[in-house]
Amino acid sequence: MLSVIKLDKLIALFIILFWCLVLVASAQEKAKDQMPDGRPLLWESVDIRGQNLFLGPGGNTMRPNLSNITFIEEEKGGYSTKYRIKDGAGRIWVAKIGKEAQSETAAVRLVWALGYKSEINYLVPRLNIPGKGTFTNVRLEARPSEIKRWDEWKWKENPFVGTNELQGLKVMMALLNNWDLKDSNNKIISERDGNGELHYIISDLGATFGKTGNIPLLWRIQRSRNKPTDYNEAKFVDAVENGRVEFTYGGKMRELFDDITIDQTSWIANLLSQLTDAQLKDAFRAANYTKSEINMLAESVKNRIAELNRATNRNRIGSKRDE
C-alpha cells in the first residue's frame, strides 16, 4: 500500500513538473513574439536628390539573384497571387503576380524617396517559378532573415497622429491614388537583434496609379489599379477651404483626409518638389512601364506636385492680404 501511495505521488509530481515546463516554454515563446520597446519611426530626413529611384530602398546590394529560383509556398490573402520563393543567393522573397506588381514597385520608390520607411522590392520583367509557371512583370518583395515583422499599425491610432509625417503620408496616398487604405496593409518591422527602432511601413501599395472613384455609391466599380491613363485623367486637389486642403478621393477610409491642413500639405509638397524629372521617370522605369507610360506617369506626378504647391502658395498669399 505504501509503495502505491509513493507511486501516485511521483506521478502527480511528474504531471506538475511537466505542466510547469509547458507554461515556462509558452511564456518564453510569448516573450519572444512580443514586440520590443523601441523608437517608433515613420519618416526621417534624407537627401532626396541623392535617392536612386531605379534601384529603390534595397539598392544594388539587395537585387535578387535570378540564377536559381526555388518555390517555397503560396502566400495566402490579398488581391494578387503571391508565392514565397528563394533566389540563387539564398534570399527569401514574396513574388506578387498580376496588375499590382508594377504600380507597387513604383509607389514604394516614391514614398521611400521622401524619407518614409518602406518595404524592399524590385520588378522582374520575366520570372520562371518552378512548378508554378513563367510570369511577366513580377514584383519581388524581400523577407530578410534579420528583419522581424510585427502586427499592423492603425491609421487612426499610432504614435504619429497629428504630425507632419503622418499627414504628409496621407497626402502621398491621395497623390498615388491608393484607394485601398486599411490597417491590415500596414506593418511594424524591426531588426531581430534590436537596434531600438520600430519602422512603421505601408506593406501593400498595389492599388495605386489608377482612379479611386469619386461617387460614394459607385466607387467600387469606378476604381482601378495600375492604369496610367486613368491616373493621368483623375482629379487630385479639390479645394482649399478653412485652412484645409480637400482632395478628390473616393477610396477606403475617406475620413482620413478631413483634417489635412495647408501647412501639413506644404510640408510634403516641399519634399516632393525636390524630386527631379529623372528620378520620377526612374521610379516608373524600375517598374518596367513602357516609354510612353513612363513619360505619362512621371508628368502626372509632376503635375500633382505643382497642384499642391499652387494650392498652398495661393492660400498663403490670400491670408497675408487679409491680415
Residue 100 domain boundaries: 39-322
Residue 240 forms part of a structural domain? yes
Lookup: cell for 214: 469619386
Q: pLDDT grade, residue 24 (50/70/90)? A: very low
Q: Return the amino acid letter for 233.
A: E
What's the length of the chain?
323
- Cβ atoms of 186 and 204 closer than 8 Å: no
Mean pLDDT, residues 91-117? 97
Residue 147: closest CA among 189, 202, 92 = 189
pLDDT tens digit string along 276-298?
Answer: 999 999 999 999 999 999 999 99
Lookup: cell for 142: 524581400
Lookup: cell for 118: 518602406
Residue 214 forms part of a structural domain? yes
Residue 20 forms part of a structural domain? no
pLDDT tens digit string along 166-183?
Answer: 999 999 999 999 999 999
112: phi > 0 → left, psi -120 to 50 → alpha, else beta; which? alpha
Identify the H or E element spanning 272. helix 262-272
Residue 316 forms part of a structural domain? yes
Domain count, the chain: 1
Residue 25 forms part of a structural domain? no
Q: What is the DSSP letter of 256?
A: G
Lookup: cell for 219: 466607387
CA–CA distances in Å: residue 208 to residues 5, 85, 99, 175, 265:
72, 25, 10, 9, 20
pTM of the model: 0.86
Cα–Cα distance, 55 to 304 (Å, whole number): 24
Residue 18 forms part of a structural domain? no
Residue 32 forms part of a structural domain? no
